[in-house]
Chain A
Amino acid sequence: MWLAYLVAAGIHCALLINVVAVGALIFIWLERKVSARIQDRLGPTRVGGRFGWLQTLADGIKLITKEDLMPEGADGMLFRMAPYVSFCAAFAAYIALPFSNGWVAQNLDVAVFFILAVMGLEVFGVILAGYASNSKWSLFGAMREAAQVVSYEVPMGLCVVVPVLLAGTMNLNTIGELQRGWFTNWYVLHDPFTFITFIVYFTCATASVNRAPFDLAEAESELVAGFHTEYSGIRWSYFFMAEYGSMFTVSALAAILFFGGWNGPIPVTDMLASALTASGSTLATHPVFVYLANFVGMLNLLFKGTFGVIFMMWLRWTLPRLRIDQVMEMCLKYCLPISCFTLIGVTFWQVTFPGGLIPMPRESIGEKIYDIRAVSDAQWNAEHKPVPKKEVKIEPKAEPKPAKPLMEARRDEPAQNTPIAGTSPTDAPVTALVRVPEGD
């Protein structure tokens, strides 16, 4: 029994580590190819066949066999520890990142918040590396990094709040499922404010993972190589695995929050499932079909995340690096006010057009969301709570616009919200805000 527990945990960890490591392998190769093409070069062409796609592996072997140097006067323990701190933080964010509907290592209720919090820890690796190297270039890089990351966390958090506001939940799995259906359901197309929010989010995300034009911490033209000047060999490569890992995390987070996550622009699997159901077949509920649909969803998410990473590469090889004062100005004078403005704008938009600008008939899709939530909640309760929970009532097509987010988000906790509904008349406005179903 305890062995099974360890094996299960080990498989999860191994899968996620593979995602990070293989992702870094591919992205580093991609970065070389993209940068080469942008600069009218060929990039790697020899290792591993036609496109040089094994170049990163060859580099990895070279890095492992290199000498592991430590500068004189460095703080040994911190110097050795720093790359692992960076990598662990980048890796830990994957724990709460869903890759498809329900395909997540730990379906946290505060997944968005958790990912932001853990990504903020990555800066420690950089700061410690900069301090422990006993080199002024490294220290300058670390100082810039600390100032930059701490400031960009604020507008990034405000941008992330917008989809959370629309969905009414911080659970990434639910946020992704609420955008099921055609691409018009994606939050980036929800209203003009979310579109602006996405742009600001991506700017802040680029800054927070230290990519050009915000890569002040490793500005080659001024600081030799910034915080990793003194690193060599495999320790050096850990910083890059962390960087590419967190690049994918912020891109996948953008995909889930704004671009429908694992739902493609055209709901092919949903249409197939409804066509099968209409023809009287029960194939649509077959586990293999569900698995395949989820797998297609995962490919969707990986594609969107990779596209985000390629977009960052495009930015890096196109735009010149900013100065540190321009970076701070960008954050405090542009990103922060714009994100505050869009947050208020989205709130007003939700109040003015609660069903969206063009109300779409989304009954079938909406009903499906209810189903999924109910099942997952029941399972969750069966696993973790000894007390059986009340059955979640599924209202069949009673409302024309079931994709109204506030209601669905609260629907998963009728048992906890019930005391408010029946307390006192003074609580009435709050009850109206929460929209507790009276039937409970």
Chain B
Amino acid sequence: MAEINWHTFFFMMFALITCASAVAVVFTVNVVRMAVYLIASLLGASGLFFLAGADFVGAMQLMIYVGGTLVLLIFGVMLTAQGPFVSMKTKGGEWIISAVAGAALLAVLLSVAVSVPDWQGPTEASANGTGATGPARTATPIGMALLGARVDRPNAPGYLLPFEIVSVHLLVVMIGAAYLARTKKRVSSPSLAE
């Protein structure tokens, strides 16, 4: 029996899940099912991240996009999906506009991807199937880069300032949430008592 290249096999599988669900999002008319297919697509993308050895990014994808954004998305869709909004038919003009936008994005991404020299042709490791399998250790370099010290390129600037800005932003959001959730003081006396 021929040796199966599991890396390729799983890449195909996750890529198929991602692309097929992405296509399904476009062709479904039911809003809630669109959101569900979007979940599958993003899950496939996180599977690709795990396969590439970027375990931190993969877990981040699960946490933020799948666990956070899409829960809120489905939450919103569920509350609004009544009557005429449940099924959305795409009109002819929208097809053209979205096709142009998608093709433009694809062209940009492809041209960038082709221009990266490291990604041209199979490397030795990927050719004999011993590429990035198993969990890599990417959390520490990412954390160091966020604290201002790049491990991969020592002289490049880190991301301390953006990190701090985002942190303060999140703190503001949390305080705002707590403020909105507080108990409101009654200004006027309840009319029932009168």
CB distance from A413 to the nearest CB of B (A): 6
A332 within 8 A of B: yes
A332 and B59 contact, Cβ closer than 8 Å, known pairs A131-B32, A146-B74, A386-B130: no
Interface string of B123-164 (1 = CB under 8 A from A): 001000010011111111100100111010011000000000
Q: A143 touching B125 by the CB < 8 A rule? A: no
A107 within 8 A of B: yes
Interface string of A133-171 (1 = CB under 8 A from B): 000000100110011011101100000000000000010
B11 within 8 A of A: no
Q: A416 touching B181 by the CB < 8 A rule? A: no
CB distance from B133 to the nearest CB of A (A): 7
A-contacting residues, B69-89, CB 8 Å: 70-72, 74-75, 78-79
Interface residue total, chain A, C-beta cutoff 8 A: 59
Q: B63 touching A113 by the CB < 8 A rule? A: yes
Q: A332 touching B178 by the CB < 8 A rule? A: yes
A1 vs B72: C-alpha distance when bound (angstroms): 45
Q: How many A-B residue pairs have CB under 8 A?
A: 138
Q: A114 touching B137 by the CB < 8 A rule? A: no
Q: B71 touching A150 by the CB < 8 A rule? A: yes
A147 vs B76: C-alpha distance when bound (angstroms): 11
Q: B68 touching A150 by the CB < 8 A rule? A: yes
CB distance from A330 to the nearest CB of B (A): 10
Task: Taking A113-B63, A118-B62, A131-B74 as given, write out 15 further A-B residue pairs in contact, using a Cβ cutoff of 8 Å, ordered by the A residue number.
Answer: A3-B1, A109-B55, A109-B138, A110-B59, A113-B139, A114-B55, A121-B67, A124-B74, A143-B78, A143-B79, A154-B174, A332-B181, A336-B178, A420-B154, A427-B154
A residues engaging B (CB < 8 A)?
A: 1-3, 5, 75, 77-78, 81, 106-110, 113-114, 116-118, 120-121, 123-124, 127-128, 130-131, 139, 142-143, 146-147, 149-151, 153-154, 170, 328-329, 332-333, 336-337, 380, 383-384, 386, 410, 413, 416-417, 419-420, 423-424, 427, 430, 433-434
Q: 18 A-B Cβ contacts within 8 A?
A: A2-B1, A75-B33, A109-B135, A113-B56, A113-B59, A120-B67, A123-B71, A127-B74, A131-B74, A146-B71, A150-B72, A332-B181, A380-B134, A384-B134, A419-B154, A424-B154, A430-B149, A434-B149
